[in-house]
Amino acid sequence: MRTTRMSTRTLGVLAISAIAASFFAAIPAHAAEMTAKETAKASDDARRSKTEHQVMTMTLTNKRGQSRVRTIEGWSKELSDVEEHRFSRFLKPSDVRNTTLLSYDYNDERDDDTWLYLPALKKIKRILSSNKKDYFMGSDFTYEDMENIDIVNWNYSFAEPETFAGEPCWVVEAVPANEKEAGETSYSKTVSWIAKSDMLSRKGEYWDKKGRLAKRLLIEDIHPTSDSDPRPRGHRMIMSNLITGHNTILEMNTLELDVEVKPGLFSQRSLRQ
């Protein structure tokens, strides 16, 4: 579900947290009167903060139980409704330490720009690639999973409300609204469990075009990002690919919203530093 195409493969670390983000204002009071579309939108709207900083551990595990663990530090900045800049640096494992990515994501017709710095090569390279069905950094998240809600090209409806993880939830189903979208998306249907208490999504299910339940997302460890910032966020996300048996766990070791970002961070020059 998306409003615009995030077409480049970027190290959009911060975008992942947006999945779990939600509107922290007093939405629940109105939720009962909202349509399914409005409920989905309300849950999605919350993701925005002007800037974010995070240190995250990404654990990729395949069906044979083998894992790849990476630690990544990242910053992002939303310049406008259609433009976002991201900067990410690998901290671990040691053989890829200081591999750095910079991306400019455009939520319009423009192609995204991505630059990569490989310290062993000591060169900055530009990367071109695009497909919204593509997986993000070898994880189980596709770019599509991380995009904003698309209220034009998807139809939303309520299923029976359910209690999930102790929270009464709205259950919102979404299906592509037109053939073009049906052709572009990987999914035939998505379902979100949105907690009535804080409008944060607790669970997501993704059905593929063969009608199989393909992926399941769980969002856990929801709490304020810090003592000084009461806005709650999920700090642990588990995306399981039920077809491949692969799963991705993202753990936010640090998550800061609306932080001051060093000037010039989102430039090619900073990649080498």
Residues in contact with another protein by CB under 8 A are: 9, 11, 60, 62-64, 66-68, 90, 93, 95-96, 99, 101, 115-116, 118-121, 123-131, 134-135, 137-140, 209-210, 212, 241, 243-244, 246
Report in angstroms how near the CB of residue 205 gets to another protein at its nearest. 17
* DSSP 8-state class, residue 229: -
Report in angstroms how near the CB of residue 81 gets to another protein at its nearest. 26
Residue among 181 and 229 whose Cβ is closer to another protein: 181
Per-position DSSP letters for 63-92, written without gaps between them: TTS-EEEEEEEEEEEEEETTEEEEEEEEEE
Residue among 128 and 159 whose Cβ is closer to another protein: 128
Report in angstroms how near the CB of residue 25 gets to another protein at its nearest. 35
In 3D space, the residue among 251, 229, 264, 265 whose CA is nearest the CA of residue 20 turns out to be 251
Report in angstroms how near the CB of residue 137 gets to another protein at its nearest. 5
Q: CB 48: neighbour CB atoms within 10 A?
A: 15
Helix or strand (DSSP H, E) at 45: helix 36-45
Report in angstroms how near the CB of residue 88 gets to another protein at its nearest. 10
Residue among 167 and 208 whose Cβ is closer to another protein: 208
Strand order in the sheet with 232-241: 113-118, 100-106, 83-92, 67-80, 51-61, 247-257, 232-241, 213-224, 201-208, 187-195, 167-176, 154-164
Amino acid (one-letter) located at 204: G
Residue among 212 and 223 whose Cβ is closer to another protein: 212
Residue among 11 and 27 whose Cβ is closer to another protein: 11
Report in angstroms how near the CB of residue 231 gets to another protein at its nearest. 29
Q: Report the alpha-carbon distance of residue 143 to residue 179 in Å, rounded.
A: 20
Residue among 141 and 154 whose Cβ is closer to another protein: 141
